[in-house]
Amino acid sequence: MGEVLSSAHVHTTFCDGKSTAEELAVRACELGFVSLGFTSHAPQTFDEAHCINPSRESDYKKEIRKIQQDYKGKMAVYLGIERDLFSCSSPEDYDYFIASVHYFMKPDGSYVGVDGAAEEFQKYIDEYCGGSGLEMAKQYFSLFRDYVLDFKPAIIGHFDLLRYNNSILHLYDEESLAYRKMALDALRDMYETNAFLEVNTGGVARGYMKDPYPAPFLLKEWKEWGGEVIINSDCHDAKLLDAGYSQAKDILLSLGYDHVARLSSNPQEGMWEQVGLL
């Protein structure tokens, strides 16, 4: 089986990661990685414990650019950012960015986390979605769709992140035609941007999900449309940098994928390259 040997989605101590950028780079080299993309959570004006402090964004950029130079000839390093829908940071100063939706904004201007505390999320659904998990899902996919179409990211991050709290609260039936249709409709529109669909192993690595994001039915249709995927660890701890990769590759192979995208091992030849799974 081919080795991916890359992750375009890792988090450092500049946000809510447990490892420094240097620790992640060292671990990546130990694993034989040919490329690594740093994507700490972009600055935002709320829930600041999980993102880069706006006053430290320039320090983050300098740190990753330094590592990029220090590891030249050993491993290709890229400066990226995971930018949430409600981030106040511009993606223009980065090599690439991952688009994600972690929050809903309430009418009063406050926010609730899609993958945050279950009780708070249930309260949001009761108050603003008529108690309907499907209505919440409809809102989520609509927000995500519009964000991706407007900003055209390189990567669509953990597309069905709302599965996190569904596994706890049982908000909707993931097998239902209604849920699957709204998810596929949104994803089909995103396909037109030519973004990579991320196969995210972070939930598996941290023990709260049995399978990567997104669900296999989404990956199956994405392949039918001709879409490209990228396996990322969404790593917050250097020890877990490639956790869940074997499972992700097995799923993709079972769906007929024979290759994935990754950050290029040689930036002079382009930012992205393909690697076979067989």
Rounded to whole angstroms, how far apart are CA atoms 207 and 224?
30
- Residue holding tokens 């209604």? 178
pLDDT value at position 2?
A: 64
Full-prediction pTM beyond 0.85? yes
| 99 φ/ψ angles, rounded to the nearest 5 degrees | -95, 135
Q: What is the pLDDT of residue 3?
A: 84
Give the chain's domains with CATH numbers. Answer: 6-276 (3.20.20.140)
- A 10 A CB-CB count for 100 gives 29
Q: Tokens 């708070």 correspond to what residue?
A: 120
Q: Yes or no: say if 229 and 245 are a contact pair by the CB < 8 Å rule.
A: no
The token pair that represents 122 in the structure block: 């249930």
The pLDDT value given to residue 244: 96
Q: Which pLDDT tens digit goes with each residue over 96-118? A: 999 999 999 999 999 999 999 99
Residues 11 and 234 sit within 8 Å (Cβ to Cβ):
yes
Which positions of the chain have pLDDT values less than 70? Answer: 1-2
